[in-house]
């Protein structure tokens, strides 16, 4: 497992994490010498959170937005240590307006059948639906159709990236399996010709490389671990926001404790 960079900005807290932090701080102020069982305390917080309406949660949503802004500011100046995975560094500076990556044939197949399976089995979990999609894909006798869509989407991505690097990219809608037009005929001759040209980029952009699935899984696992650590440590979101929270929520939790 990769060693974590302690200087890396903390991940932004969710509205619920902000809620738990505020309640915990209020409880510590009122009961400084009391030992609180974290699992029981968070369970009560979770029950209270579920009972709160959108208006009651609003202040915590604002706190989460504030912390997200803090995270973005810090990440803008963060430089990963030498030796860290390039994908980790690249993911942090990824332009949200970049073209969407191309789909595989299996992804197009899933896109076409996921809703149907969900309607047929509304009680199934996501993992159950994924297994069924995999089973149906193995039995599919018309994979060529989805391969055509995958090839078309690959061409779409290459074309969009050329435009993106040239500074003239405008987001395009991904062609779906149910579209009437033949996916191989969607791109015009001029579009295909453009794929083989190399226009000079008008502005610098990060290099685009395929990201390894294992790296993405490691990234998600680390983010989940850090989210738990942040919740347990009670990282500050901003004293000015904590001071303005609604103390009625903490009083109800403390009354149950």
CATH number at residue 230: 1.10.30.10
Same domain, 64 and 131: no
- State residue 33's pLDDT score: 86
Residue 205 resides in a domain: no
Q: Report residue 193's pLDDT band, with 50, 70 and 90 as the boundaries.
A: very low
- State residue 249's pLDDT score: 53
Q: Report residue 84's pLDDT band, with 50, 70 and 90 as the boundaries.
A: low
Asked if the model's pLDDT at residue 135 lies above 60, the reply is yes
Same domain, 22 and 67: yes
Same domain, 185 and 222: no
Average pLDDT (91-120) is: 83
Residue 204 resides in a domain: no
Higher local confidence (pLDDT), 231 or 142: 142
Same domain, 218 and 178: no
Per the prediction, the chain carries an average pLDDT of 71
pLDDT tens-digit map of 139-186: 999 999 999 999 999 999 999 888 878 777 777 777 777 654 443 333
- State residue 179's pLDDT score: 57
- State residue 246's pLDDT score: 46
Q: Which domain holds residue 83?
A: 15-94+212-256
- State residue 24's pLDDT score: 86
- Four-CA torsion 139, 210, 175, 106, nearest 10 degrees: 10
HEC readout, the chain: CCCCCCCCCCCCCCHHHHHHHHHHHHHHHHCCCCCCCHHHHHHHHHHHHHHCCHHHHHHHHHHHHHHHHHHHHHHHCCCCCCCCCHHHHHHHCCCCCCCCCCCCHHHHHHHHHHHHHHHHCCCCCHHHHHHHHHHHHHHCCCHHHHHHHHHHHHHHHHHHHHHHHHCCCCCCCCCCCCCCCCHHHCCCHHHHHHHCCCCCCCCCCCCCCCCCHHHHHHHHHHHHHHHHHHHHHCCCCCHHHHCCCCHHHHHHHHHHC
Residue 75 resides in a domain: yes
- State residue 89's pLDDT score: 46
Total domains in the chain come to: 2
pTM for this model (two decimals):
0.38
Residue 7 resides in a domain: no
């Amino acid at each position: 497992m990769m060693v974590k960079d302690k200087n890396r900005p903390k991940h932004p807290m969710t509205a619920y994490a902000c809620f738990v932090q505020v309640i915990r701080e209020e409880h510590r102020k009122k009961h400084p010498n009391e030992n609180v069982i974290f699992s029981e305390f968070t369970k009560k917080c979770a029950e209270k959170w579920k009972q709160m309406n959108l208006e009651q949660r609003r202040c915590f949503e604002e706190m989460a937005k504030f912390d997200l802004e803090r995270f973005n500011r810090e990440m803008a100046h963060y430089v990963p240590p030498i030796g860290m995975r390039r994908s980790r560094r690249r993911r942090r500076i990824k332009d949200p307006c970049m073209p969407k990556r191309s789909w595989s044939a299996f992804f197009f197949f899933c896109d076409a059948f996921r809703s149907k399976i969900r309607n047929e089995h509304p009680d199934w979990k996501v993992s159950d639906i994924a297994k069924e999609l995999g089973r149906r894909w193995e039995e599919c006798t018309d994979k060529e159709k989805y391969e055509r869509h995958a090839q078309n989407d690959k061409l779409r991505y290459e074309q969009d990236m050329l435009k993106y690097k040239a500074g003239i990219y405008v987001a395009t809608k991904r062609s779906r399996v149910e579209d009437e037009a033949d996916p191989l005929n969607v791109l015009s001759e001029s579009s295909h010709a453009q794929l083989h040209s190399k226009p000079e980029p008008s502005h610098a952009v990060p290099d685009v490389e395929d990201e390894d699935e294992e790296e993405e899984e490691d990234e998600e696992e680390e983010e989940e671990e850090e989210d738990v650590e942040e919740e347990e440590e009670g990282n500050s979101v901003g004293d000015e926001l904590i001071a303005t929270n609604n103390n009625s929520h903490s009083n109800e939790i403390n009354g149950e404790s």
